[in-house]
Structure 1
Amino acid sequence: MKLVAPLTAFGRDDLPLAGGKGANLGELARKGWPVPGGFVVTTDAYGLVAEGHGTRAYFEQVELPGELREAIAAAYAELGGGPVAVRSSATAEDLPGAAFAGQQDTYLNIVGEQAVLDAVRRCWGSLWTDRAVAYRARLGIDDSEVRIAVVVQSMVEADLAGVMFTANPVTGDRGQIVVDASSGLGEAVVSGLVTPDHYVISDKGVEFAPGRREVVIRSTAGGGVTHESGTGTPERLPDRAVKELALLGKEVAAHFGRPQDIEWAYAGGRVQLLQARPMTALPPPPVGELNPIQRRLCGMLLEYLPVRPYPIDVTTWIPYGPVGLMGRVTAGFGVRGLFEGFLREEDGVVYRIVPPSPRPSFAMLAAPFTVLSKARRYDPARWTDDPRFRAYLAEVKELAGRDLAAMAWPELVRLPRKALALVSPMADLRLDYLPGTGLALVRLKVALRLRGLGDFFGDLLHGARTRTADANDALQRLAEVAERTGALDGEPRPAEFEEALRAFLAEYGHRETSSPILVTTPTWEDAPETVLDLIKVLAGGPSGKKEEDDALERLLGHPRLRARGRARLRRRVAAARAGVAFREDSHFYFMMPQPVVRRSLLELGRRLCGVDVLERPEDVFHLRLEELESIADVTAMRPQHRERLRDTVRARAARREELSGVRLLDPGAVYPVQETGDALVSGAPASGGVVSGPVKVIREPAEFAKLESGDVLVCPYTNPSWTPLFQRAAAVVVDAGGAASHAAIVAREYGIPAVMGTGRATAVLEDGQIVTVNGDTGQVTRTS
């Protein structure tokens, strides 16, 4: 056992023995960077003393074995026997995804052998404080697997000290280095006791903002530190020290391969590095200015990705589902890269959205001929008669009816790919029938404009009968059953309502609650409480849908039309409505394999729980499909394989938790803040009209029941599952999306004002605030 060793005996690969802080500092020292000399009391020493104990009181009173006392005393004497800093270094800290900043203790200006031994004991005990235990529990880190080392270093009596970030922690800009500094020891900056001097260093120079130096922490004679009142007078770092810090920061970040959070001290004209760890919760780098196409595509992605995708999403439904379909369709018409490579991963977790960069191919030259050929051959009005569609429905039904629990592992682990393979025929159908849809819409719009009747276009399309409209009507009928039978009054619910609910879910239960491009988000059938919340919103009032306005009859009766033109326009309206229905309904049917994939993955997760690889079935989402497929037999896994998968899941879960508050893409880059005048927010006008009402912010399906009749619905995104809310909302204001998005189309159908693509409405508007939504100008103002 190695109980105590010099700092330079350790490197970045020695985390199990030296802990995160010790391993990183040892790596810096070994590579020649300016690090104060020191030694590490290893995790072996902790294990020797711990003996299964896990309370702070035990470690503060335990007697150290003689061999260990002597080793610490000898290392301290070799260091000079003067003041030292004693820092905790747990094996789970300073890792990507689990910084543990401030969770374990540090003791400064420790003087004397006995004081060092006491500080080591207190560092061990800090592993078992309530806050440290709770932090580990939140990250899913088992207490029994965490050990702690202690780093003892020569004390640096700093003139100035602080923290350096090798990337801007607010904007994510990797081209900027941010330094916070103040007088005395850096603990004043780290603990937030002072407003520090603030430096932003980039190729453009150095920006400086002075701090206030409310407190200065300094060492005291004989040990310990004192807090003195600050003078408030700025004491700037010398320019050469600023340059040296920036150079050191770049070198250290390059060495570790990722941006670093570095504690430093400046004393006697020298810069020294006291700690380095990966930056956590760092936003993605700024994307820069987007061109109109990228802005449109990123707007769609923000709408489709309300939550961060899991590794299983990236390897299943994202490449095979709607995104993969759109990429395949556009590639078929000569545009590649439209939805490829738009997600970047770090440490196995999706970190950011990268704006797609579509590029034309030679196939684009033939696209006009391809479109016309397919438009003549494939009529959207008859797409459900296509043999490929009928075969698809039969295959989905057969696969969905299989008993997953009865399947042997080899058959079960192949099921996700079988379900994903079903998607291909639907992609072919979209490729074949969309040209007819587009051509029908263009023909109708042109015909109307030539006659000066362009205003009719939107209203005419409302007459298209879609599966989304069917679902909304069925939900309204279900709400009426619930109200009539008293199903919402409590448990148990009446049998009549339960039967109606089962029938509804059998028909529409595969609809997504949050995102159509993720397999990990539940469907209505997976989360029936979402349906119940929608029923609560709808019960007790008439349908909010505007009275059927037969726009076609109004059009045909218009005096500008001649008798011969009426018949032609009628055919063109019918063709355009059939195209709209195809676009909506093909998505409805396209989503049918998604629940099969999701249920098979959760069954795989349940079986992995049975062999102690996972703690919950849902933890399977942290794995990639190929990692699951690498398991030949779940009951015969080698211990090393189980451990490797366990470690993978835990590391990705920790990284995901770290990124929980970090956006995949800054909405401001997609929806730049506009000069709004008196408006609270503004966006794209998507459905006309002006209405006032109280704001109700709904961020996720679990909050559906909050909406009351007459509220202004403010939400980050929408999809078909949200549209029943439009029957009660007075208006809708959405962070993402545009005038062609699903929310905008349905809002127009229900005759309520809609403002899309505000980028920040959910952050600016508050529940209960009375606002006026102008769907004609795209502005939301405060109601006086």
Structure 2
Amino acid sequence: MITRQLSELSRADLPIAGGKGANLGELIGLGLAVPPGFVVTAGTYAEQARAWQFAEHLTAPIAARNWEAAAATAAELCLHGALLPAVELAVRDAYRELGAPLVAVRSSATAEDLADASFAGQHDTYLEVAGESALLLSLRRCWASLWTPRALDYRAARGIDHLGVAIAVVVQRMVQSEFAGVLFTVDPVDQRTDRMLVELAPGLGEAIVSGHTSGDLYHLSRPLDAGKPGAGAPAITARERRGAGRPAPSDALVHELARIGLRLEAHFGCPQDVEFAFAGGVVHLLQSRPITTLRDVELEAIPPLPPLNRMQRRLLESNDNDRFPVAPKPLDQWGFGIVLPAVAHTLQFAGFAVDEAELRASAEQVWREALVPPRARPTLRLLALPRTVAASLGHDWMGWWENEALPRILDACDLTDLGAMDDAALLRRADRIAGVLTETLGKRFEGIVGQAATLLVRIPVVFAVGRKRAPVIMGDLVSGLRTRTSEVNEALFDLSRKAVGAGPEVTGPLRDGRPDELRETEAGRAFLAEVDAFLAEHGYRESTGLFLSASMWRRDPTPMWGLLRGLLDVSEPPSEAAGQRRYRAALAEVTRAVRFIPGLGAAFAQVVERLRTAIVFRERSHFDLARLFSALQDIIAALARRLHERGHLPVPEDIFYLTRAELRSWLEGQVPSRGEVERLVRRRRATYAVVNGRWQKWAFAAGSQGGAADVLRGVGASSGVVRGRARVICDEHGFERLRAGEILVCRYTNPAWTPLFTLAAGVVTNTGGAVSHAAIVAREYGIPAVLGAAGATERIADGQEILVDGNEGLVTLLRPANAGEVAHG
């Protein structure tokens, strides 16, 4: 059959309905509330795939592990191939029999929701689908999601035959839920089998499942005799409210959900991850699958966060959220071991004493709950800090960089054939690069110390314009700067103009998110040459911080393609002249106000000019230092391939779960057995999940603040007021979701994010200040920005209408978000 009703299915129908469809049928058979619907069977997909000759088209790229080529080929067939007439007719008929309502269209692969591989997030879900044409398009997209590079890599890592996997598609009536979310019948975050965990939020649950928002957390006790007749009832033991003023469901509904979860666990025989919706006082079940992260996996010791002094806490809060949005993996600690001595050098340069033993211990850590800066003790040298800052401001740092630092960097990163080098030579090259990075970074930080002059500049600014307007004027004083960040953004905009000028043969694949298709036309190949030239010059741009495990654009241009897609609809680049005008106006206003104090106006202007020069130096040197990280990434990638080809690593990416010492010993021949390696990687993956959860939880707690439920307060970093739809972007993979005229809401930004400002009508971030990357570019582009609005990404829903007041530093939350976004589930 082409379609089957959910009510006809059970777990025995996994080969027909996939994991999701079979489980939903099983839930209906238990008498539980499940939205009605039907399944387009896996056999239908298989028949359609044969008609499209999938095996003939995909065997070669799969054999070559060329996931991008396989994905592009499959997407072309799924989205543009002719549907079999019988398939189209059957789907239309089943939809009409359902009443042609708004529906959710969910992928359901036959290898999905198994006890050892949940496939969570690998295939696509579409919500609020209306009409037969939209349903058929969503069906095609779900089929295509079986072949994304992400899904291919996931299956390959688990030894699952790609061509042997089929996909069913579940079509269900939408539940217009009051609250929705996820229940875990055991706590997978803290690895606690004695309690349950619920995360929920108002509205649809896909925003939580896909990671687009964070809900309120409920911790519930789990009866010792759970699942047995006469067992005790679960009880709420703690709540973590992540959205001030959010409505909440009744405790009775949460308790009912927990009881249902325990019933499902007893029925399926293992802990369950249950997606649910509350509507009309009823618990509706949307999915139930095994929790695969609790299969007797041992966790490694995670050092607790040590007591922090006031200085450490301030440095931690100002840096971790902004520069390190996710927790580091074990091999990333190698990078921190390179950077920490430079940080210590800077503290000593400023007048603090640093405990060297503590510094070494910190550099050798495998796991961290947060990146704690070195403990520093003030010395008498700190009294000379004003003179130190003044000397730093007066030094020609750009001259030093051009004449001394940059040549050393380029020499250390010289182009060479890594494949021709043996393991020992690669490690020696890595050590050389690390040494240059540590030394150059420490000296560069001496130049960055000069930016402490912002505190000195603020005094006459407050005197001139008052405390309320001071943040905006401070921002305007560093507007109109020509930085390396703005140069990269301009080059990317110019690249988008070349795409538009090349016509539909180039813009079509870009808009469809299939840049691999550019190789098929002459115009496309010419544009790819332009892209290669762009990446050669500007590809040293990180997306999620300077982690060794986070590839830069030149290695993984996915974020760049997302940015280009958005820039296709932008007709004009931002004007540099506007920033210059704001700078001159702000300088004139302050100098006029202090003209009664002899010499103060001229001294103020001189300090501001040097501060501007220091910021330009910061941006330029940051970009060039990224070359060193990129060169280290190239070496690690080469070593990962070798270890994988020698049979030591299950997949190359597992190298990041090794420590630096383990990597060196493996390369010297001291490799554990394959079974031990697999257990090590499995243990490290499980530990990382817990560490990253704590990292995110600590970051949220550090940034949370009180205040009215519908107003957030931050720093008015770029003046102006704008009202519009919020687009919450979690990471670089969401760049393409931003549309022109929307307000960008994100936890942090680094230079890689700033091309989005060409599209955005305004910017709101959890962290940042008047001289951060985001502030400088927002002022250059002339869009209102409120930075440092703690908790913004938690309290602003994706799609919600908000008012951004860059003059007052306020964000007002207006109407709720509309549902209907694509999600992964």
* TM-score, scaled relative to structure 1: 0.61
Alpha-carbon distance, 1:423 to partner: 0.8
Deviation, 1:570, is 5.5
The offset of 1:300, in angstroms, is: 1.6
Residue number in structure 1 paired with 2:330: 311
Shift of 1:604: 0.4
1:405 to 2:419 alignment: yes
Q: Which residue number in structure 2 is paired with residue 578 of structure 1? A: 613
Q: Give 1:479's match in structure 2, choosing from 470, 477, 496.
A: 496
Q: Provide the aligned length of Structure 1 versus Structure 2.
A: 559
2:156 & 2:309 partners in 1: Cα distance? 36
Once residues 639 and 365 of structure 2 are traced to their aligned partners in structure 1, the CA distance between those partners, rounded to angstroms, is 20
Q: Give the alignment of 1:182-197 within 5 angstroms.
A: 185-188=225-228, 195-197=233-235
Secondary structure, in 3 states, of the residue corresponding to 1:710?
Answer: coil
Compute the displacement of 1:417 (Å). Answer: 1.8
Flag the 1:524–1:719 CA change in 2: closer, same or farther, 3 A: same
Q: Secondary structure at the match of 1:535?
A: helix
**Whole-Å Cα distance in 2 between the matches of residues 720 and 339 of structure 1?**
32
Unaligned runs of 5+ in 2: 1-110, 120-153, 161-185, 199-218, 239-250, 264-268, 270-293, 510-517, 817-825
* Residue 618 (structure 1) aligned with residue 659 (structure 2): no
**SS in structure 2 at match of 1:755:** strand
Give the letter aligned to residue 631 of structure 1.
W
2:512 corresponds to which residue? none
CA distance in 2, matches of 1:533, 1:464: 26
Residue matched to 1:320: 338
Q: Distance in 2 between matches of 1:564 and 1:129?
A: 73
Q: Structure 1 pair 571/362, CA: closer, same or farther in 2 (3 Å)?
A: closer
Cα distance change, pair 567–299 in 1 and its aligned pair in 2 (3 A): closer
User: How big is the shift at 1:469?
Assistant: 1.3
Residue 132 of structure 1 aligns to a residue in which SS? Answer: coil
Q: Is the CA contact (8 Å cut-off) linking 2:318 and 2:768 kept in structure 1?
A: yes
**Take 2:406 and 2:237, find their aligned partners in 1: how far apart are those partners?**
65
Q: How far is the alpha carbon of 1:447 from its aligned partner?
A: 6.0
Partner of 1:630, secondary structure, is: helix
- Which string of whole-angstrom CA distances, capped at 9 and with x for unpartnered residues, describes residues 116-140 of structure 1? xxxxxxxxxxxx9983343699996
The root-mean-square deviation of aligned C-alpha atoms, in Å, is 4.8
Answer whether contact 1:404 1:603 (CA < 8 A) is retained. yes
Tell me, in whole angstroms, the C-alpha distance in 2 between the residues paired with 1:214 and 1:757. 41
| 1:711 Cα deviation from its structure 2 partner | 0.4
Q: Secondary structure at the match of 2:115?
A: helix
Question: Which residue is equivalent to 2:115?
Answer: 132
In structure 1, the partner of 2:722 is 691
Distance in structure 1 (CA, Å) of the matches to 2:529 and 2:479: 32
Task: Measure how far apart 1:685 and its partner are.
Answer: 4.0
The reply on whether 1:607 has 2:625 as its aligned counterpart is no
Check if 1:667 corresponds to 2:684.
Answer: no
Structure 2 match to 1:507: 537
Q: Does the CA-based 8 Å contact 1:733-1:756 persist in structure 2? A: yes
Q: After TM superposition, give the deviation of residue 383 of structure 1 in Å.
A: 3.5
- Are the equivalent residues in 2 in contact too, given 1:739–1:745 (CA < 8 A)? yes
**Residue 230 (structure 1) aligns with:** none
Report what 2:551 is aligned to.
Answer: 522
CA distance in 1, matches of 2:778, 2:599: 34
Shift of 1:404: 0.7
1:639-676 alpha-carbon deviations (Å, 9 max, x no partner): 64666545423321243356665544433421233121
Deviation of 1:501 (Å): 1.9
Match of 1:395 among 411, 425, 428: 411
- In 1, the alpha carbon distance for the partners of 2:380 and 2:756 equals 43
Q: Which runs of 5+ in 1 are unaligned?
A: 1-127, 144-161, 172-176, 201-207, 219-224, 226-274
Deviation at 1:277, TM superposition (A): 7.5
Which structure would you say has the larger RCO, counting Cα contacts within 8 Å and 6 or more residues apart?
A: 2
Q: Report deviation, 1:430.
A: 1.7
Cα deviation for residue 683 of structure 1 reads: 4.0
The answer (yes or no) to whether the contact 2:331–2:657 under 8 Å persists in 1 is yes
Corresponding residue SS for 1:468: helix
CA distance in 1, matches of 2:735, 2:112: 39
Match of 1:706 among 737, 747, 760: 737
* CA displacement at 1:529 relative to structure 2: 2.5
CA distance in 1, matches of 2:315, 2:305: 17
- Return the letter of the residue paired with 2:626: M
Q: Give the counterpart letter for 2:654 in structure 1.
A: D
Specify the SS of the correspondent of 1:187.
coil
Q: 1:639 to 1:464 in 2, by over 3 A?
A: closer
Match of 1:352 among 354, 369, 393: 369
Partner secondary structure for residue 369 of structure 2: strand
Q: 2:435 aligns with which of 421, 441, 456?
A: 421
Residue deviations 1:120-165, cap 9 Å, x none? xxxxxxxx9983343699996789xxxxxxxxxxxxxxxxxx9996
Give 1:612 shift. 0.7
Aligned to 2:223: 181
1:335 aligns with 2:352: yes
1:156-171 correspondence to structure 2 within 5 Å: none
Deviation at 1:602, TM superposition (A): 0.9
Cα deviation, 1:264-289, whole Å, max 9, x if unaligned, reads: xxxxxxxxxxx997898999979999
Contact 1:734–1:757, Cα closer than 8 Å, also in 2 = yes
- Structure exhibiting the larger radius of gyration computed from Cα positions: 1
Output the CA distance in 2 between the equivalents of 1:595 and 1:627: 21
In structure 2, the CA distance between the partners of 1:567 and 1:291, relative to structure 1 (3 Å rule), is closer
| Secondary structure, aligned partner of 2:804 | strand
Question: Structure 1 residues 211 and 279 mapped into 2: Cα distance closer, same or farther (>3 Å)?
Answer: farther
1:597–1:335 Cα change, 3 Å:
same
**Aligned to 1:732, which of 750, 763, 769?**
763
Deviations 1:152-210 (A, max 9, x none): xxxxxxxxxx9996998879xxxxx985438xx432499xx97425678xxxxxxx999
Residues 344, 353 of structure 1: 8 Å contact kept: no
> Using the alignment, how far apart are the partners of 1:130 and 1:752 within structure 2?
45
Compute the displacement of 1:505 (Å): 1.2
Q: Determine the structure 1 residue equivalent to 2:182.
A: none
Per the alignment, residue 90 of structure 1 pairs with none
Choose 703-712 or 748-757, whichever is displaced more.
748-757
Provide closer, same or farther for how the CA distance between residues 393 and 535 of structure 1 changes in structure 2, counting only shifts above 3 A: same
Aligned 1:263-342 pairs, distance under 5 A:
291=310, 294-314=313-333, 316-321=334-339, 325-335=342-352
Q: Corresponding residue for 1:16?
A: none
1:378 matched residue in structure 2: 395
Residue number among 454, 478, 482 corresponding to 1:461 in the alignment: 478
> Helix, strand or coil for the counterpart of 2:727?
strand
Q: Deviations over 1:190-246 (max 9, x none)?
A: 9xx97425678xxxxxxx99978979999xxxxxx9xxxxxxxxxxxxxxxxxxxxx
| Cα displacement (A) at 1:772 | 1.5
Q: Distance in 2 between matches of 1:774 and 1:342?
A: 42
2:794 to 759, 763, 771: 763
Residue of structure 1 in register with 2:12 after alignment: none
Give the match for residue 45 of structure 2: none
The 1:590/1:482 distance shift into structure 2, 3 A limit, reads same
Compared with structure 1, are the counterparts of its residues 437 and 180 closer, same or farther at alpha carbon in structure 2 (3 Å cutoff)? closer
State the alpha-carbon separation in 2 of the partners of residues 215 and 476 from structure 1. 53
Give the secondary structure class of the aligned counterpart of 1:733: strand
In 2 relative to 1, CA 167–423 (structure 1 residues): closer, same or farther, beyond 3 Å?
A: farther
Q: Which has the higher helix share?
A: 2
Structure 1 partner of 2:773: 742
2:555 alignment partner, SS class = coil
2:393/2:610 contact within 8 Å kept: no
Show CA shifts across 1:562-595 (max 9, x none): 9988876664443222112112222122211011
- 1:71-82 to structure 2, matched below 5 A, reads none
Residue 543 (str. 1) matches residue 585 (str. 2)? no
Whether the aligned pair in 1 keeps the contact of 2:800 and 2:813 (CA below 8 Å) is: no
Tell me how far apart the structure 2 counterparts of residues 689 and 774 of structure 1 sit (CA, whole Å): 6
Once residues 165 and 584 of structure 1 are traced to their aligned partners in structure 2, the CA distance between those partners, rounded to angstroms, is 45
Distance 1:435 1:427 in 2: 12
The separation in 2 between residues aligned to 1:564 and 1:613, in whole angstroms, is: 69
Deviations 1:82-115 (A, max 9, x none): xxxxxxxxxxxxxxxxxxxxxxxxxxxxxxxxxx
Per-residue displacement from partner, 1:334-389 (whole Å, max 9, x unpaired)? Answer: 335699979999x996351265574324364464376168438723353335x422
Q: Structure 1's 327 and 745: CA in aligned 2 closer, same or farther, altered over 3 A? A: farther
